[in-house]
Amino acid sequence: MSSASLARNSRYRSVTSMVWVLLTAAILATAVLSQRSLSRLADSREAVTHSLHVDTALRDTMSQLLDAETGQRGFLLTGRAPYLQPYYTALTQMRQSRAALGSALSQDPSALAPLEVLDKAIAAKLQDLDHTVSLKSEGRSDEAVQLILADTGNQTMLAVREALQVLEADQVRRKNTQQAQDEREIKNNYLTLGASILINLLLLIGLVQRFRNATTQGDVAQQVMDERNVELSRLLAAAATRNEQVQLLSELSRFLQSCAGMDEAVGLLKQHLPPLMRAGDGALYLMAVEHNQLRRSFTWGDKVYVDFFEPGDCWAARLGQPFRQPVQSGSASCAHLQSEHWCAQDNVQCLPLRAHGELLGMLVLEAQVAPDPGENLEIEGSRRFALEQVGLSIGNLKLRESLRQASMRDALTGLYNRRFFDESSQREVKRAMRQQVKGSYAGLAVMMIDIDHFKRFNDQHGHEVGDQVLREVAQVLQGQTRGSDVAARYGGEEFTIVLADITPELALGRAQRVCQAVEKLALHAAGKDVGTVTISIGLAHFPVDGSTVEALLSAADKALYEAKNAGRNRVVVAT
């Protein structure tokens, strides 16, 4: 071989080696960029979770302060000591919520000044509440009433609301900033990944072309080049698949974080999960905690899967880790895969979906085994990582939904709580004012409801029976309301209902039916009848009895007082 040929071969090998090194470096860079993108998504989820905790602490602080004020007013109106129990309980819970808020914002210097303002406003409000309670306890009721009429309570409560609104506005600003930053990060990652893939393709094309030009170098050289070509094709295909998986997972996580509920999340999973799992057949089951069942959400492929099964029927759920089914059915197989419609196949797996130590669901897959063990390991790892990210997203979605429900609902009765009632009643009154101007609105009614002789149930049968009475009455109220109405627990044994777009006559008829429905309740404790439950109702109507929520509640409360004095178990319309 001439020196010129040797020189050409040397240059060829040098250039080929350089392209090989560049391609390997580009693939590694793509993997690093993918890892950075996933790390950024994890940081974003932590920021969302922290924001949810801060929002919960803010809502709890306001709700518990309102509960304390309700207990104080109940004590001032009746002079009965039991009304102080929710008052002191709310004070204790409020201090705990304030401590949780301070802990959540301890690393935020900009929150120190608003927190100090909030502390001063809460201290002023608590001092006002404590002063009126002390005056009432000492028998100085007139002074306590004068203190309330001085309107200092509303002023201090307004200061607390303003301080909380400042903190809430700061949280909203932070969330918006975080969301904008995440969107920029995702956009940059997509552009970078796209450029990396393009570079990989160009390098591979150049390398393949050089391999093709080397066919004249002999059989051995050709064999080496073919092997490298196959390896490079496999690496590029794996990199392209990995990049596609990362993009799909990134997009899915971003959508799941913005879902309004589980139904919307299931729709997204049905679209994105099958490509991520790379399996021809599969089914996703989600946990129904109230029934202790894993219920089928969706399937893909041709296989038939059971509608639901209990966690104990699946080895993956019992072991807390992925489980591969044996080919032959038996005691080592999952019971939910032994139905008459199921045919045992190789490589059937059950993959648990978990987050925060809780079983959220189960993914059942049937996939072909790749001939390359390394490829199999890569696919298995990709599936488990994707499920971890999906599990965290669903866990955060469920946490957000539970926090939203907890902020709106009373834990004992399931009705709306006082905080939600205050907000929704203000909206309804404003809407009534707008509709009244148009002349197309029948009016708005407010019921104030109190369970007659409620203390007797607690004293004679215990607090469990008292709680049962509250729940049963709440179910009646819920059943007697329309979708546009708002039924809420106002405090203690008091309830309230806002009836939208209703005439005074229809509102009176509705109130009388509520009274009759409660009177028909049959309650038993330890197999014994606990007696008849009755309620008294005060009814006020907008705009005859008031044009503000406060005026309507005051009118309905006075009517309720008249119903009590008139013998209870009746409806009295405000006059």
Cis peptide bond prior to 543, omega within 30° of 0? yes
Active-site residue flag, 493: yes
pLDDT of residue 566: 93
Give the 3-state secondary structure of 46-113.
HHHHHHHHHHHHHHHHHHHHHHHHHHHHHHHHHCCHHHHHHHHHHHHHHHHHHHHHHHHCCCCHHHHH
The per-residue pLDDT for range 181-230, each reduced to its tens digit, is: 878 877 887 787 778 788 877 777 877 776 676 655 556 656 777 777 77
For residue 492, give both structure tokens.
Answer: 């203690």
pLDDT of residue 472: 92
Which residues, including other chains, have CB under 8 Å from residue 287's CB and lie 6 or more apart? 293, 294, 295, 311, 359, 360, 361
pLDDT of residue 114: 80
Choose, from 493, 505, 519, 550, the residue flagged as catalytic.
493
pTM for this prediction = 0.44
Nearest to 250, CA basis, from 34, 48, 32: 34
- Please, what are the domains in the chain? 3-183 (1.20.120.1730), 278-400 (3.30.450.40), 418-573 (3.30.70.270)
- Judge contact between 500 and 481, C-beta under 8 A: no
Determine the Cα–Cα distance for residues 344 and 76; give it in Å rounded to an integer.
72
Q: Which residue has tokens 């092997």?
A: 227
Which residues, including other chains, have CB under 8 Å from residue 139's CB and lie 6 or more apart? none
For residue 291, give both structure tokens.
Answer: 């029934």
What mean pLDDT do residues 40-59 have? 72
For residue 201, give both structure tokens.
Answer: 């393709």
- Amino acid letter, 242: R
pLDDT of residue 245: 67
The per-residue pLDDT for range 383-424, each reduced to its tens digit, is: 888 888 888 888 887 777 777 767 788 889 989 999 889 988
pLDDT at 6 over 80: no
Which residues, including other chains, have CB under 8 Å from residue 480's CB and lie 6 or more apart? 510, 513, 514, 517
Determine the Cα–Cα distance for residues 496 and 489; give it in Å rounded to an integer.
6
pLDDT at 38 over 70: no
Nearest to 201, CA basis, from 248, 240, 243, 246: 240
For residue 240, give both structure tokens.
Answer: 């392209």
Per-residue pLDDT band at 34 (split at 50, 70, 90): low
pLDDT at 553 over 70: yes
Q: Over the Cα atoms of the chain, what is R_g? A: 34
The per-residue pLDDT for range 450-467, each reduced to its tens digit, is: 999 999 888 888 888 899
Determine the Cα–Cα distance for residues 462 and 556; give it in Å rounded to an integer.
30
Give the Cβ contact number of residue 135 at 10 Å: 19
Determine the Cα–Cα distance for residues 157 and 152; give it in Å rounded to an integer.
8
Nearest to 443, CA basis, from 502, 486, 484, 487: 502
Is the pLDDT higher at 451 or at 99? 451
pLDDT at 48 over 70: no
Cα angle 166-171-172, degrees, rounded to a multiple of 5: 95
pLDDT of residue 217: 59
pLDDT of residue 513: 94
pLDDT at 522 over 80: yes
pLDDT of residue 343: 56
